[in-house]
Structures are given as structure tokens and as C-alpha cells.
Amino acid sequence: MANEIEMIRDGGVVGAGGAGFPAHVKLDAQIEHLIVNAAECEPLIDVDKILLEREFKLVYEGLKVSARLTGAKKVTIALKDKYKRAIEILEGFKKGGLDFDIFKLGNFYPAGDEQTLVYEITRKVVPESGIPLMVGCVVINVETLLNVARATQGKKVTQKYVTISGEVASPVTVRVPVGTPVQVLLDFAGGVTADQYAVFDGGPMMGKVIDHNGYAVKKTTKNIMVLPEDNIVTVQRKRAIKGQIKRSQAICLSCRMCTDLCPRYLLGHDLFPDEMMKRLYKGDMDQEDMKKFDYAYLCCDCGLCELYNCVVDLSARAIFNYLKEELPKRGIENPYKRQEITANEFREYRKVPVDRLKQRLEVHKYMDTKFAEFDGRVDRIKLYLVQHVGAPSVPVVKEGDMVSEGDLVADIAPGGLGARIHSSIDGKVLAVEEDNLQIGKA
Ligand code: SF4
Ligand code: SF4
């Protein structure tokens, strides 16, 4: 009989909250504190809340397994104080044999950022460029725990909970096969209601614009969101980096709001978006000594500076993301590794309320969703070979092979970090491409 870590590895379990870190690696550590991330701080996503309300029995089984594997001395489930129904359900499990705390978070962004969450609960700051394990914590998402429980029952990750939100006729949260085409989801939600629009994988703060014609649900997809072409989020995401830099050089007011409300700066990290903007004044960034921009490595891509903090609509985030790609190419490494860090004394008063953020993002008119059983047709799936942190998975099937739901179709690359991928339908392998596999229903 395989041990539980092997079963989680065999099941292809990865961080389902968006990060995609392989769970068999994350849970193969001895820790002080296991933290369940049910904060779901991005607007327009309801997956965690719905899972806590509908599937907590299974989530709780996954939590018991994870606590046992990690030897955690303390277990905390962190969720929004406003999730009253979910809190009631969790309270009901308190006598189920596992000693856990419920930590109620305010409705601020980014409450679900791992480092923010660790600080809120433990008052420990994760070192710069570090991970929660460095302060004795592992943070795990609700749906990941559900998949951990299923894996220890011999089941594979073949289903994904996804909210379909924004400009669709009937926003909804569903469970669908991994690899389901996004167009199938949009049709299930009654179709797109805007004339000109963009589709995102993720929420308004951290989601990525996708070409929905070819895109399919990944193990990390939590939200398929449609926003109008002229929404502030869409406009920012579609600005080219050259234009972002030129606008910054022309109109930055040096007001410092981007830094003063940056969650990583407020945790005490050496990250100063306003300083970066000032250093752009001298002209073409490519001619500058890029070393002076190396604190880009500390940016967690939360999007607050771009979508909330800046009064003139500039994006330090976009420039930091550009720098994070450029710096390694020029041999400039991340020097930021400070361990002993004290959070900013004003942090508590500078949390961004989600309700105000929604207004700013022009998404306040979109309502919360409810769960609905998915009864759409999925005739063909696309399974990306990278839907996790690590090396691309290696196909173990070829065109023409017949597969059943749960069959292994791509394995972890030898010696590498990665995750197994399984077919989510019964069918025939139609294509094996460089970055994906396609399977058609038998
Ligand atoms: S995106 Fe902006 S606000 Fe968020 S961590 Fe990066 S610099 Fe700070
Ligand atoms: S908030 Fe905007 S205007 Fe103010 S310093 Fe930052 S980038 Fe410049």
C-alpha cells in the first residue's frame, strides 16, 4: 500500500488556489503551523466559500491528512468574518478529532496573499523572497485539501471548481472536468453580455487576459471572468510596457501612494514602487543601470499600485513584472534575503477594503454566485503540460490511444519538480502537442 504522500503525488494534486505548487512536496515537511487559506480576497470569486459550505466534510478529511503528514502542532482555518454560514459549519466540526482554530479576517485585499495571511495569524514576517515554511508555516488552499482527501481515496485530480463571473448572463460557480474549453463555460453561464470585452483566467487584481477561443480550464483556474473592453482592469492589462514606462516618466507625481499602500512594503520588505518611478526619470530604461531596479524581485504582483493606489493611473506592477523578466537575463540576481523584519507601524490602518476596491475596479455591480450542477457537453478537453509549478509534464500516451477518466496521460519529468496529469474524460487522444494534450470523447 502506497503511503499518503505517494498517493497525493499519484493523484496529481497541486495548489488549486492559483499557485499550482505540487502538494506532495509541500506536505512533505515537518512544521509548526498548518494554515488553511479560505480568504479568497479577489473580488468575483466564490469557490472557497462554496466549498466550505458544500464540501467541508471532505475538506476536513484532507485537513486531517495534511496535519498528520506535516506533524503540525497548530492548525488554523482562515476565512472572511462575513462568511457566517461557513463559520457555523466549521464550528460544527470542532469535535471531530482535530484541534483547529478559526481565524476571522476582515474584508480587505490582499488578505489571501500567503505572506499577509501568515502575518495576520502569527505576527511573523516571512523573510524577503522567502516562503512561509521559513517561519514554520505551510499555507494550503481549501480545494487543494479536497483533492488531498480524494487522492488518499485513490482518486485523481480530474475536476475543477470554477466561478464564471462578470459580463455573462448568469454568473455561476460550477465543477467541470479539467481541460474544459472556456467557451463551454461561457455558454453555460448564458453567454457574454458585452459587445467588446476581454476574458480573464483569474480575478480582476491578478487574473491574466486569455484568448478564450483556444483556452481550457487548468487545475489552477478559479475564475473565468469577462470584463468590458473599457473597464479599468482591461485597459491597464492591455497597455504595452513601452507605453507604461513613457506614461510613468511623463506624469508620476511622486506622491508615494503606491509605496504607502503596497502590502509588501507594509510588511517591512525593502520594496519602494515610488522610488522605481523616480529612477525612470532619466530616460530610456534599457540604458540605465538595471541593478538599481533589483527590488522588483520583492513585488508579489498583487496589483494594488496599478489598480487602486495611483491617482494618475500608472502601473508600477507592470514595470516590476517587466523587470522580473529582464533582470535575470542581464545576470542580476535577487539580493534581498533579510530575515529579521518588522512590519510597518501603520500597516493596520492601510488595509484596502474590498468594497471600495470593487467600486474602483468598476466590478461592484456583479453579484456573488451560487453553485449549479454542470450539465454542459464537454466533447473535447485540452490538458496543458504545465498547470503547476515546475517542469512540464511528459506525455505517456500517443495519438490514437484510448483513455478512461483518471488514466495517467502525462508524468512528472525525471528528477524534476512537477505534477502528474490525468484524463478527465473517457475518450481518444486526438493530439499530443508541445505544450498540451487533446482528448476527444469516445
Ligand atoms: S503589485 Fe504593486 S502594490 Fe503589489 S506588491 Fe507589487 S509593487 Fe507592491
Ligand atoms: S502613486 Fe502614481 S503618481 Fe504617486 S508616486 Fe506612485 S506612480 Fe507616481
Q: What is the DSSP string of 176-244?
A: EETT-BHHHHHHHTT-B--SSEEEEES-TTT-EEE-TTT-B--TT--EEEEEETTSHHHHHHHS-HHHH
Structural contact between residues 122 and 135, judged by C-beta atoms closer than 8 angstroms: yes
Q: For residue 359, is pLDDT > 90?
A: yes
Pocket test for ligand 1, best of 248, 266, 317 (most atoms within 8 A of CB): 317
Name residues whose C-beta falls within 8 Å of residue 43's C-beta, 6 or more positions apart in sequence.
203, 204, 205, 354, 357, 358, 361, 363
What average pLDDT score do residues 410-434 get? 96
What average pLDDT score do residues 220-227 get? 97
Residue with CA nearest ligand 2 atom 6: 258
**Cα of 20 to ligand 2 centre, how many Å?**
32
Confidence of residue 421 (pLDDT cuts 50, 70, 90): very high
Fold exhibited by the domain 4-151: Rossmann fold (3.40.50)
For 63, half-sphere exposure in the C-beta direction (CA atoms, 13 angstrom radius) is: 31
Distance CA 298, CA 327 (A): 13
pLDDT in tens, 131-174: 999 999 999 999 999 999 999 999 999 999 999 999 999 999 99
Residue with CA nearest ligand 1 atom 4: 302
Burial class (CB within 10 angstroms; exposed 0-12, middle 13-18, buried 19+) of 346: exposed
Q: Tell me if 304 CB under 6 Å of ligand 1.
A: yes
**DSSP codes of every residue in 22-83:** BHHHHTSS--SEEEEEE---STT--HHHHHHHHHHHHHHHHHHHHHHHHT-SEEEEEEETT-
Structural contact between residues 181 and 379, judged by C-beta atoms closer than 8 angstroms: no
Distance CA 83, CA 41 (A): 12
Ligand nearest to the Cα of 271, by number: 1
Q: Tell me if 199 CB under 6 Å of ligand 1.
A: no
Cis peptide before 110 (omega within 30 of 0): yes
Burial class (CB within 10 angstroms; exposed 0-12, middle 13-18, buried 19+) of 90: buried
Q: For residue 283, is pLDDT > 70?
A: no
For residue 259, give the ligand 2 atom closest to its CA: 6
Name residues whose C-beta falls within 8 Å of residue 21's C-beta, 6 or more positions apart in sequence.
14, 15, 388, 389
**Cα of 214 to ligand 1 centre, how many Å?**
30
Structural contact between residues 204 and 224, judged by C-beta atoms closer than 8 angstroms: no
Question: What pLDDT sits at residue 97?
Answer: 84
pLDDT in tens, 5-14: 999 999 999 9
Confidence of residue 2 (pLDDT cuts 50, 70, 90): low
**Cα of 277 to ligand 2 centre, how many Å?**
7
Distance CA 114, CA 139 (A): 7
Fold exhibited by the domain 158-228+363-378: Ubiquitin-like (UB roll) (3.10.20)
For residue 253, give the ligand 2 atom closest to its CA: 3
For residue 254, give the ligand 2 atom closest to its CA: 5
Question: What pLDDT sits at residue 61?
Answer: 96
pLDDT in tens, 377-396: 899 999 999 999 999 999 99
What average pLDDT score do residues 5-30 get? 95
**Cα of 254 to ligand 2 centre, how many Å?**
5
Distance CA 80, CA 334 (A): 34
**DSSP codes of every residue in 366-400:** SPP--B--------EEEEES-SSSSSPPEE---TT
Q: For residue 305, is pLDDT > 80?
A: yes
For residue 300, give the ligand 1 atom closest to its CA: 5
pLDDT in tens, 170-209: 999 999 999 999 999 999 999 999 999 999 999 999 999 9
Structural contact between residues 208 and 201, judged by C-beta atoms closer than 8 angstroms: yes
Question: What pLDDT sits at residue 415?
Answer: 86
Structural contact between residues 441 and 379, judged by C-beta atoms closer than 8 angstroms: yes
Question: What pLDDT sits at residue 52?
Answer: 96
Q: What is the DSSP letter of 342?
A: -
Q: Which CATH architecture has domain 379-442?
A: Beta Barrel (2.40)
Question: What pLDDT sits at residue 289?
Answer: 76
Q: For residue 1, is pLDDT > 50?
A: no
State which amino acid sits at residue 406: G
Average pLDDT, the chain: 94
Q: Domains of the chain: which residue ranges?
A: 4-151, 158-228+363-378, 237-361, 379-442
What average pLDDT score do residues 217-230 get? 97
pLDDT in tens, 29-65: 999 999 999 998 899 999 999 999 999 999 999 999 9
Q: For residue 430, is pLDDT > 90?
A: yes
Distance CA 420, CA 59 (A): 21
Q: What is the DSSP letter of 95?
A: T
Question: What pLDDT sits at residue 196?
Answer: 97
Question: What pLDDT sits at residue 96?
Answer: 81
Cell numbers at 233, concatenated: 482592469
CB atoms within 10 A of CB 355: 11
CA torsion, ordered 191, 197, 202, 207, to nearest 10 deg: 170
Distance CA 224, CA 222 (A): 7
For CA atoms 121, 126, 131, 136, the dihedral sign is: negative
- Ligand 2, CB cutoff 6 Å, lining residues: 252-258, 273-274, 277, 309-312, 314, 316
**Cα of 304 to ligand 1 centre, how many Å?**
6
Ligand nearest to the Cα of 302, by number: 1
- Pairing mode, strands 380-384 and 223-228: unpaired
State which amino acid sits at residue 35: I
What average pLDDT score do residues 307-319 get? 95
For residue 303, give the ligand 1 atom closest to its CA: 1
pTM of the model: 0.94
**Cα of 205 to ligand 1 centre, how many Å?**
11
**Cα of 253 to ligand 2 centre, how many Å?**
6
Distance CA 174, CA 159 (A): 10
What average pLDDT score do residues 66-77 get? 97
Residue with CA nearest ligand 2 atom 1: 310
Q: Tell me if 288 CB under 6 Å of ligand 1.
A: no
Question: What pLDDT sits at residue 290?
Answer: 82
Phi first, then psi, for residue 283 (nearest 5°) are 120, -145
Ligand nearest to the Cα of 303, by number: 1
Give the residue among 392, 407, 412 at the shortest CA–CA distance from 439.
407
Among 120-124, 246-250, 285-289, where is mean pLDDT lowest?
Answer: 285-289
**Greater confidence, 281 or 250?**
250
Ligand nearest to the Cα of 277, by number: 2
Residue with CA nearest ligand 2 atom 8: 252
Q: Tell me if 314 CB under 6 Å of ligand 1.
A: no
Q: Tell me if 305 CB under 6 Å of ligand 1.
A: yes
Structural contact between residues 45 and 359, judged by C-beta atoms closer than 8 angstroms: no
For residue 258, give the ligand 1 atom closest to its CA: 3
For residue 110, give the ligand 1 atom closest to its CA: 4
For residue 302, give the ligand 1 atom closest to its CA: 4
For residue 301, give the ligand 1 atom closest to its CA: 1
Distance CA 213, CA 136 (A): 43
